A = this chain, B = another copy of it.
């Protein structure tokens, strides 16, 4: 059964999920392994996934049959599990706990050849509404405190399957990285009486040099301390702590800007692998004055190296101001 272990010196947590070592991969390090003929996520292969939790079926087709535009299914090789017996904890040097939670896969399109950037704004809006709807549904279960939505696109970003998909993980507690970000935002609010993200947006809009694109509701920018070339953040321009609070109309505008950002990144970096992550306030919190949800897109054209592992210093050869200029100027 999967378990979480904490390193006593660095305090970092690791999820051990031995069953995931049996996951099939459509990528191959050596290039020697034969590729599977079709993906488990393709139309017509619905019996290769666990039964669907959510789907968009404009033709009214039956669940777990072809005809869908988007499906959500439980992860067949979950890193965390809904029903996980308690792991006996040990000494302070060897802290462990059961890896409890929901782990779902959002199959974002019925077309095996489309990437997220290939979808229309309307299709992308369906994906974002699905994220929102699943967050709301997981919140309604009452047993989770945080939902993490993320996407691994391409092998170097950790994807094992080509067919465009994202993952949703719901945790019974708030992951340490999220807590730290919230504490930092909260400390700024205590000092300044304002949301740090709102302050950042205001400063970025004055300086202009790191702005990429925007619409009425959302802003895309290169963060001042971008970890990788063309790292891109998308934030609501006015204060919102919870992603799942947005309307269908809001998410259509978000889809429009996300599509622009992805297409521009593809133009500048040549269709890179990337991770996309959504940071949003914990489920049980009411609207927070000091936290502001946002999306981070992290292209993976470089490799984390010894300096990152040893000192925590990321190395980036492309200044964010130059990245933003290239992204602004990239054609759609």
Contact = CB atoms under 8 A, between A and B. Distances in A.
A187 B73 CA distance: 44
A245 interface: no
Contacts of A304: 158, 304
B224 A310 contact: no
B20 A317 contact: yes
User: Which of A178, A224, A310, A316 has its CB near the most chain B CB atoms (within 10 A)?
Assistant: A310
B152 A306 contact: yes
B309 A277 contact: yes
A247 B196 CA distance: 51
Contacts of A303: 152, 155-158, 300
A108 interface: no
Interface in A131-158: 148, 150-152, 155-158
Contacts of A314: 12-15
Contacts of A175: 310-313
A184 interface: yes
Contacts of A185: 9
B310 A10 contact: no
Contact of A311 (B148, B152, B276): B148
B310 A279 contact: yes
A305 interface: yes
B9 A196 contact: yes
A16 interface: yes
Contact of A150 (B200, B278, B310): B310
Interface in A265-291: 275-279
20 contacts: A9-B181, A9-B196, A12-B225, A14-B226, A14-B315, A16-B316, A17-B317, A18-B318, A18-B319, A18-B322, A79-B315, A93-B200, A93-B203, A150-B310, A152-B303, A158-B303, A175-B310, A175-B313, A176-B311, A298-B309
Given A14-B225, A14-B227, A17-B315, 9 more contacts: A15-B316, A17-B316, A18-B317, A20-B317, A150-B307, A158-B304, A171-B311, A175-B313, A298-B309
- Lowest 9 CB-CB distances: which A-B pairs, in order? A158-B305, A150-B306, A177-B312, A277-B310, A21-B317, A175-B311, A7-B225, A5-B225, A158-B303
